[in-house]
Amino acid sequence: MNYKILKSIMIIHDVIYRTDFSYLAEMFRFLGIFVCEDILVKMDARQLLEKSSSEDYDAFIFVGNREITNQEERLLGCTAEEYASLIGRLSPKTVYFSECLKEYGERSTVSDPFPRPVNKYLNKEQQKQLLVHVIDKVLEQADGENKDDNMAGLLEDLAEIYIQNDLMLHSMNLQYYAKLPSLAAGEAKGAFIQGYKQVRECIIQGISDKVCMYYRYAQLWCAVKANNACDYQNDILYFPLEGLVKDCKDLCKAYDNFTNAKILLGLSYEPSSGCGNEALMAFKDALQEMGEVCFASPVYYWMGKRYESFKKEEEAEICYTNANRKKEKFRNNYKLAVFKRDKKEYDNALKLFDNILDKLELKLKIDFADSLELEYAFKVYTQECFIYYQMGSYVDAIKMGNRAIEIIDRKIENSKFLEVFYEDKKLVYIEILKKRLNPKTVYRLMMESYRNIRNKEKADEYRQKLVDL
């Protein structure tokens, strides 16, 4: 049967159910499928129409309810009527995740109205049934009458491995707590090594040619993630780079149009500073196939990081600009803002930093920003504090400094996201996150700013804070 290979999916959510988005997104990424994210209440009718009619996506999923409560109206800053109007503009083929969950009964909230994550709410067997059902619905949307009715079932073992090893949690933690040693990276390393071994065993026992590409990709995805965790822990790479690269290249050769395999090849080089050119070649190869799709955004971002490591700032800035053009993200804006800051183009830098804060505004307001977003908010406020200080705007510098300090002193402690995502382990991850945020620069800028406006008492206060660090 001439079924279509699923390559890309758009998942739209309403923020309140963002942990469900991560649960599904990481599952599809585990399979080698591109995932693009949008937030319903941040979109207008024109944007929804463009997304719904776009050929960039093979399928659409909506994560959230079709109707919202009065409490959710207040949190989202959106009336029930406005929300319903947006829902009505989703693609008619959209898979509604809430409907897939109905048979499992109503789930409780951790911090009202934020629901328990699926991986805590359902047992492992229920999760496997749910994911296979969602995959089947997505394939039906993508393939229509040509859908292979056995395809979702053939992916059941991968769903089970994903669930057993809690790969969603560990994949997100590698994003949240990158580049530094932590309990999160250590646990992720073990989970991805185990996932690799289990997928390999499935392949050894024999799988259908129809899904072989997904299994081989999932195995190498686990290996790349495990090596990233090793890198963060300053450990020797568990999977020798030469063998991993060869396996990624073999996957690329076996499935010439499997663009995500080419991207995975580029990412496999990430822990090696000496393989930058090889990584760039792999990314450029992938971009030739991708065209103008939003999924090209992270590829340009990773290329920008490689160029930065080569001290090629001009090429890096071009890559970050292209990344932002494909899909505006706060990490792209942050990189571009730092370039503007270094050139002393302070007004342009502030504009870009403010764009990040605009994107994070809703999540910060309702205390539902994730760990990475809280860290970026802290870094942005610190950067704006520095810029205002350099401009001689000491009152504004103090204002931004106070907001940076508020992230550490209040926002992290009060985070409903950390409570929902980690439940009884919330305090462990609060400590991991706080260790990543060093207030030394903020305290120094606050001390100097207060000194410059002749407030000796406050200047002395921040001088003492510096001493106490």
| Mean predicted confidence (pLDDT) in 56-75 | 93
Query: Angle 158-220-375 (CA atoms, 0-180°, nearest 5)?
Result: 90
Residue 86, pLDDT above cutoff 90: yes
What is the three-class DSSP state of 423? Answer: helix
CA distances from 216 to 7, 186, 197 (A): 15, 24, 12
| Architecture of the CATH domain 330-469 | Alpha Horseshoe (1.25)
Contact between residue 266 and residue 279 where contact means Cβ atoms under 8 Å apart: yes
Rounded to two decimals, the pTM is 0.95
Dist CA 200 CA 216 (whole Å)? 8
pLDDT bucket at 2, cuts 50 / 70 / 90: very low
| Mean predicted confidence (pLDDT) in 262-272 | 95
- Write the pLDDT tens digit of every residue in 224-263: 999 999 999 999 999 999 999 999 999 999 998 899 999 9
CATH topology of domain 1-164: Rossmann fold (3.40.50)
| Mean predicted confidence (pLDDT) in 367-375 | 97
Domain boundaries, the chain: 1-164, 330-469
Dist CA 215 CA 296 (whole Å)? 23
Average model confidence (pLDDT) for the chain? 94
| Mean predicted confidence (pLDDT) in 73-100 | 94
34 strand-pairing partners: 8
Residue 4, pLDDT above cutoff 70: no
| Mean predicted confidence (pLDDT) in 61-69 | 94
Strand bridging mode 8-13 / 59-63: parallel
Residue 293, pLDDT above cutoff 90: no
Q: At what angle do helices 212-232 and 259-268 cross, to 10 degrees?
A: 20
| Mean predicted confidence (pLDDT) in 16-41 | 96
Contact between residue 208 and residue 154 where contact means Cβ atoms under 8 Å apart: yes
Residue 111, pLDDT above cutoff 90: no
- Write the pLDDT tens digit of every residue in 168-222: 999 999 999 999 999 999 999 999 999 999 999 999 999 999 899 999 999 999 9
pLDDT bucket at 1, cuts 50 / 70 / 90: very low
